Structure 1
Amino acid sequence: MKAYVVNQWLKGPEDLVLSTNVPEPEPKQGELQIEVKAIGLNFFDTLMIQGRYQIKPPFPFVPGGEFAGVVKKSTVSQYKAGDRVFGSGFSFAEVITVEASKVLPIPKNFSFEQAAGLYITWPTSYAALVLRAQLKAGEYCLVHAAAGGVGIAAVQIAKAIGAKVIATAGSTDKLEIAKKFGADYAVNYRDKDWTEQVKKITNGHGADVVYDPVGLIEQSTKCTAWNGRILVVGFAKGTFEKLPTNRVLLKNISIVGIHWGAYTKNEPESIPKVWEGLFGLFESGRVQPALYHKVYNLANLPQGMDAINNRETYAKVVATVGGHDSKI
């Protein structure tokens, strides 16, 4: 089978080489063998192949974090061959094995491409807004990088909750995409006065919840409301910020971290609640996966990673594996 195999830390996606004679992995007890149909690409995929991510698999390993596909072989009772599933696993390959606990059935009417980006992106945003920030209807929710993978999910979830959503992005095109998926207001965070724009939109109140996967917390404290909650989702800018704790004190601000991947170890009882909430939204049609207009394939997958790293993309970037009808 074809797969990307990493034997040493790489400089970047351009160093990935697609191997064509990799043996198909066999599932152990508790695992599934999956024929991959689509792969969800993430910024952390690059960090992983560079050895800069918190998870450092032993060499050799197949990188990747999200997938959708069809079960080929099952060692557990809840799944059988032919089932359409999505999940998290080392996914840059035509066939993979994955623990059954890291797989879920694809929601009705979702394509493989839509499902490939669900497993990490959507629960991250849902857990951040619902569990950690406890966002309420009527509150102002400021979503940074609102046209990105987690950002566009956050916009839709916040709207479904009933919040007033202020989207930020770095271009007019991306702001239009955020508005298309439900944002009430749009602000370009490249504008020097963007925090003043947020305050004007909120009539001086400020944002009750700030969702930040970029690294704009220091600036966001200037336009955060009293009792505001700032969610630390990620660091797309590539640096860790020093916070103005005087503003944190004076505005009663809570700085709230969200590390969805650590819930399995530290708070497993919350995982089913998150997925129950999400499946309710998926099946109601109140939210829908948003995909980047260009769909990559296994051969040019590194180009998709580069596009993410260069901040050229919006929504979820997906690569398909093999020709298929995405609805089957």
Structure 2
Amino acid sequence: MRAWQVTELGEPDRVMRLAEDVAEPVARDGQVLVRVRAAAVNFPDALMVRGHYQVRPPLPFTPGVELCGEIADGPRRGERVLGTAAVPAGAFAEYALMDAAGAFPAPDALDDAEAAALHIAYQTAWFGLHRRAALRPGETLLVHAAAGGVGSAAVQLGKAAGATVIGVVGGPEKAAVARGLGADLVVDRHGEDFVAAVRAATGGRGADVVFDPVGGDAYTGSTKCIAFEGRILVVGFAGGTIPAPGLNHALVKNYAILGLHWGLYNAHDPAAVAHCHRELTALAAKGVVKPLVSARHPLAGAASAVQAVADGTTTGRLAIVP
């Protein structure tokens, strides 16, 4: 089969190689072999290829952590499913492996590329907003990188929860995307001060919940426009800088700093992950949730797609369709 291989760590467009004769992976107990119908590109794919991710598969490996596929054998043969791939037999290939318990039914309301993009980003946003930050109807939600993969999910789920959503983006193209996703106010950080914009939009009160996958200056600015009893949700550090928060500031302003590592729920509370999938499927059926797939690439374009996500030049999600 055709599959992308990483034999050394580095930048995706340099170290990823498309091989034509890789052996199909063999499912172990508790796994299923799936024919990949579409794979979504995630920032962790780039981190894994660079060797910067918390999971470091042995070389060589096939990257691609998220997919929609068709189970190829066993009692569930032919079932259309979505979820995470069992790297090193990742999703940037014609066939991949998945843990059977984490192969969830793909929603009928979504096509293959949309279904592939539903799992990680939307589960992350759902757990962050509902389980960690307890977002309530009528509250103000500030979303950084609102046109990106996980940010776009947070915008849609924030609106679905009845929040007023303020999206922060970088550039006019991304601003248009965030507005199209339903954000009530969009701030282009290249030309506007999002702190002042949030204060103005909330009458000086600030945002009740901040969804921050960026870190660095985004986090620092968020502490200046967080509301009384607000919650700052730390999702990632796509900006490249990990903040060192002043806990005295959290004390005197009475706000909470919440961490979210969604992957831990798969180990500690898998029933909650399954429940979240049912919630997301219902929202997709209503048309409330629909992943923004901004581009669909053939398998041969996977390396350049991963590099584009690594460089932060994309909006929404990129999908690989073998």
TM-score bin, normalised by smaller chain? over 0.9
- Distance, in Å, in 2 between the alignment partners of 1:237 and 1:191 is 18
Partner of 1:181: 181
Residue of structure 2 aligned with 1:284, choices 280, 283, 286: 286
Equivalents in 2 of 1:68, 1:193: separation in Å?
39
Please give the residue correspondences for 1:20-169 in structure 2 after superposition, counting only pairs within 5 Å: 20-74=20-74, 77=75, 80-89=76-85, 90-169=90-169
Q: Does the CA contact (< 8 Å) of 2:26 and 2:33 recur in 1?
A: yes
Q: Secondary structure at the match of 1:255?
A: strand
- Of residues 269, 272, 275 in structure 2, which corresponds to 1:270? 272
Distance 1:129 1:31 in 2: 31
In terms of mean alpha carbon deviation, does 156-165 or 10-19 score higher?
Answer: 10-19
**Residues in 2 aligned to 1:246 and 1:63: alpha-carbon distance in whole angstroms:** 41
TM-score (norm: length of structure 2): 0.94
- 1:192 shift after superposition: 5.6
Check the 8 A contact 2:11/2:307 in 1, yes or no.
no
Cα distance in 2 between the residues matched to 1:289 and 1:279: 12
1:295 aligned counterpart, secondary structure = strand
* Structure 2 counterpart SS, 1:153: helix
State the Cα distance separating 1:246 from its structure 2 match.
Answer: 3.2
Say if 2:213 is the partner of 1:217. Answer: no
8 A contact 2:6–2:15 mirrored in 1: no
Structure-2 residue corresponding to 1:259: 261
Alpha-carbon distance in 2 for matches of 1:310, 1:158: 26
5+ unaligned residues in a row in structure 1: which ranges?
322-328
**3-state SS of 1:73 partner:** coil
Query: Residue in 2 aligned with 1:312?
Result: 313
Distance (Å, rounded) in 1 between the aligned partners of 2:122 and 2:270 = 17
Partners of 2:184 and 2:61 in 1: how far apart? Answer: 43
State the superposition RMSD in angstroms: 1.4
Unaligned runs of 5+ in 2: none
Q: How far apart, CA to CA, are the structure 2 residues paired with 1:69 and 1:93?
A: 11
Counterparts in 2 of 1:98 and 1:109: CA distance versus 1, 3 Å: same
3-state DSSP of counterpart to 2:73:
strand
CA contact (8 A) 2:62 2:92 kept: yes
Question: In 2, distance between residues paired with 1:65 and 1:97?
Answer: 10
State whether structure 2 residue 249 is matched by structure 1 residue 247.
Answer: yes
**Greater mean alpha carbon deviation, residues 156-165 or residues 65-74:** 65-74
1:232 aligns with 2:228: no
Deviation at 1:14, TM superposition (A): 2.4
Shift in alpha-carbon separation, 1:146–1:65, aligned structure 2, 3 A: same
8 Å Cα contact 2:109/2:284 also seen in 1: no
Q: Which amino acid aligns with 1:86?
A: L
Residue type at the aligned position of 1:301 = A
- The CA distance in 1 between the partners of 2:273 and 2:37, in whole Å, is 25
List 4+ stretches of structure 1 deviating above 4 A.
none
The count of residues paired between Structure 1 and Structure 2 equals 316
> Which SS does the other structure have where 1:312 is aligned?
coil
1:190 is matched with 190
Between the aligned partners of 2:315 and 2:221, the Cα distance in structure 1 is 23
Equivalent residue, structure 2, for 1:325: none
Query: Contact 1:148 / 1:316 at 8 angstroms: preserved in 2?
Result: yes
- Work out whether residues 143 and 212 of structure 2, in 8 Å CA contact, stay in contact via their aligned partners in 1: yes
